[in-house]
Structure 1
């Protein structure tokens, strides 16, 4: 590939790797292969934005050496720590010994652990921070969960180039690099990538798009596939449209409580759902609960939360009557979540979960959340010891938001 064909903007060069194999990726096979796009900004303070897959670190350093002696690099920006983007960092950092690694706070923690970089200097950025690299200004935006928590994007102000890592990518192995040189329409590949990687995080897509509204973008230079220099706004608009939520969803929070702690949990969940625009009904399940009313409420709801305190390793109130009724109901297409408070071992929550697992409801578990969103720090079913503290309340809110995301997708 001719070096002139790698020019993204003035003094900004593509230095990535084209992987034209059938590539194993996120439990899929990329039949068209992919590219790992890295960018070198040849400024007074030479800067690299993202690297390549860990398998091609040596190739990456060789490509970069066509432009600069790696020892002279001053900044390495890592937008996203997944090894298909940060994997070339150890090989580069071994050469660029004085380079400062620029990333988010969580990104720095993860990179240090992944690649044993504890002795390297890190520049921690926050949303809206800028960095003068001598002739170009970089502006950073935090974009959590696109598609992992530590992710950020980088905007070269003078060039009007957005470097968004995984966002706006396609999985196509191409030597042409730029979308206006593509031999065929890439729209479908672009949509497929969004659906597989970004759609589970669509509320965060909307947050990201809001941050882009006031900046002028001439080129989008992602970390996979084509660089979008022809009509980049088209692709931003596609993300905007594909990530807009479906409306008119309903949630139901059922709870039985002994001391009031489970009621507090139920209320926090309901409040967050309501704030997110989900019509939410809350019902206390006493021993003498009106089962017909509960049945009708369940029928009308898209997501149902079932909660109970634990007393002597069991549920309280009339919750078990409700759960036994579920096997006679059609729950396909509905989302089910178990929650509750406890003082010791908290068996009631697990008993509820077992009942739900024996129905055709879509049961939300930690495994399901990790596989669909990559969020490994949330616990489903939701178990709170005694009364939720400030940190517990925040985690309840995040959990409710995740269920909302599942509903409106």
Structure 2
């Protein structure tokens, strides 16, 4: 096997798996695959923190075997029930028959719905609980709804190591295991995509948990997905910005079109705004929604356009609106636009979503049939107006 276990601290090893082929995670398009990180701690009590997606069980076990006999594992810490983390738990339990499973109360309930756990021994923990495994002590911090109710993180005290579960993760398959190897800016880019499409709705909880760990000395963050942060300060600062929806002078224009009318309006708005602010233009059937949401995360304004079909939004845009609505972006200017034939409806529905999200909603632009030069000039002027509002 080309990729072996990796020592990340003295007697602490990465024993996870790299999924080069995965392209979809909860309808979040992951264009560079994924990693499932599991960590093995060698001490008086041998501890495995999380497992891997089930199809990679044998890879994980082989990496563990490089270090110890997996039957010697004393504790299996389950930070999160979701099966990209716990998928191999039942299999490793068949080998490490006496291993105690450490998780939150909700974690235990979830695991016992996924697996036949009637013969398992559990240690249920909550925030502040500690587990001495020899020279090391593990401390647990519950992180409910980041991004499931059962979530927690594990802190290895003496090593200043935070095993952070889904927080600070990225979906990227790479042979590089550290942010420095991948490139810190590159790692931040993938972390931003991950945050925007998984953790964006939970900004207030993120802020609360960041506050909670302020006094904790963190020298390294090892998440369940992606690279390990040797520069934890950089990603913590990025999370603070993203959780606060700190925005730049940027407009994101999102649209779909049937006969190119809405596309022409979109381009005119984008061109008008580009004279004053940064602009990103996306087509909902040609561009990844994950990329669109990543740009929306730190944009001050969003313009969404659609033709009207059956008195409502053109279905591809309706799908995107549902996706965006579930991620709950905040503190945005919202502008609806579109074209229609014998009856409107799309703009009204887009505005309804904007109002539900408590956006600062501007006057929409509706154009019947194909836009004339005068109407395209109005779209251009709307873009200029959006840029001025962004800068004000």
TM-score range, shorter chain: 0.5 to 0.7
For structure 2, the residue ranges without an aligned partner over 5 or more in a row are 247-301, 304-310, 314-321, 329-355, 361-392
Measured in 2, the distance between the counterparts of 1:194 and 1:11 equals 30
Residue 172 in 1 paired to residue 126 in 2? Answer: no
Residue 103 to residue 170, structure 1, CA distance change in 2 (3 Å)? same
Contact 2:200 2:243 (8 Å CA) reproduced: yes
Residue 22 of structure 1 deviates from its aligned partner by: 3.8
Query: Is residue 2:204 matched to residue 1:203?
Result: yes
SS across alignment from 2:165: coil
Match of residue 78 from structure 2: 78
Distance 1:71 1:90 in 2: 13
Structural mapping, 1:108-187, within 5 Å: 108-182=108-182, 185-187=186-188
- Alpha-carbon distance between aligned partners in 2 of 1:125 and 1:188, rounded to the nearest angstrom: 34
Match of residue 372 from structure 1: 326
Local SS of the residue matching 1:185: helix
Q: Once the 2 structures are TM-superposed, how far is the Cα of residue 7 of structure 1 from its aligned partner?
A: 1.3
Aligned equivalent of 2:213: 212
Cα distance change of structure 1 residues 233 and 92 upon mapping to structure 2, 3 Å threshold = same
User: Per-residue displacement from partner, 1:13-57 (whole Å, max 9, x unpaired)?
Assistant: 000001111432111332111111000001110000111112212
Counting only pairs closer than 5 Å after superposition, residues 239-318 of structure 1 correspond to structure 2 as 239-244=239-244
Residue 91 of structure 1 and its aligned partner are, at CA, apart by 1.0
Q: CA deviation at 1:113?
A: 1.5
Question: Is contact 1:40–1:64 with CA below 8 Å preserved after alignment?
Answer: yes
Give me the CA root mean square deviation: 3.1
Q: Distance in 2 between matches of 1:59 and 1:407?
A: 47
- Match of 1:6? 6
CA contact (8 A) 2:15 2:63 kept: yes
Contact 2:200 2:327 in 1 (8 A): no
| Aligned partner of residue 238 in structure 1, secondary structure | helix
Distance in 1 separating the partners of 2:70 and 2:154: 21
How many residue pairs get aligned? The number is 265
Q: Deviations over 1:354-408 (max 9, x none)?
A: xxxx999xxxxxxx79x9379xxxxxxxxxxxxxxxxxxxxxxxxxxxxxx9559
**For residue 50 of structure 1, what is the aligned residue in structure 2?**
50
Q: Is the 8 A contact 2:197 2:327 kept in 1?
A: no
Q: Is the 8 A contact 2:108 2:122 kept in 1?
A: yes
Contact 2:81–2:150 (Cα < 8 Å) also in 1:
yes
State the partner residue of 2:288: none
SS in 2 for 1:8: strand
2:176 aligned with 1:222, yes or no? no
1-structure distance, mates of 2:80, 2:135: 25
2-structure distance, mates of 1:38, 1:205: 23
Q: CA deviation at 1:59?
A: 2.2
Q: Is the 8 A contact 1:16 1:36 kept in 2?
A: yes
User: How big is the shift at 1:163?
Assistant: 0.5
Which consecutive residues of structure 1, in runs of 5 or more, have no partner in the other structure?
247-331, 334-357, 361-367, 375-404
| 1:186 partner SS | helix
How high is the TM-score relative to the length of structure 1? 0.60
The answer to whether the Cα contact below 8 Å between 1:219 and 1:228 also exists between their aligned partners in 2 is yes
Q: Which residue does the alignment assign to 1:94? A: 94
Q: Counterparts of 1:373 and 1:91 in 2: how far apart (Å)?
A: 34
Map Cα deviations across residues 76-117 of structure 1 (whole Å, 9 max, x no partner). 001111100111101101101000000000000110120111
Q: Which residue is equivalent to 1:191?
A: 192
**What is the distance in 2 between the residues matched to 1:116 and 1:96?**
15
Tell me, yes or no, if the aligned pair for 1:58 and 1:88 is still in contact at 8 Å: no
TM score, norm. by length of structure 2: 0.62
Q: CA deviation at 1:207?
A: 1.5
CA distance in 2, matches of 1:146, 1:126: 15
Is 1:28 the counterpart of 2:35? The answer is no
Q: Distance in 2 between matches of 1:407 and 1:30?
A: 29
Could you tell me how far apart the structure 2 residues matched to 1:373 and 1:154 are?
A: 26
Q: For residues 408 and 224 of structure 1, what CA distance do their matches in structure 2 show?
A: 32
> 1:256 corresponds to which residue?
none
Contact 2:153 2:163 in 1 (8 A): yes
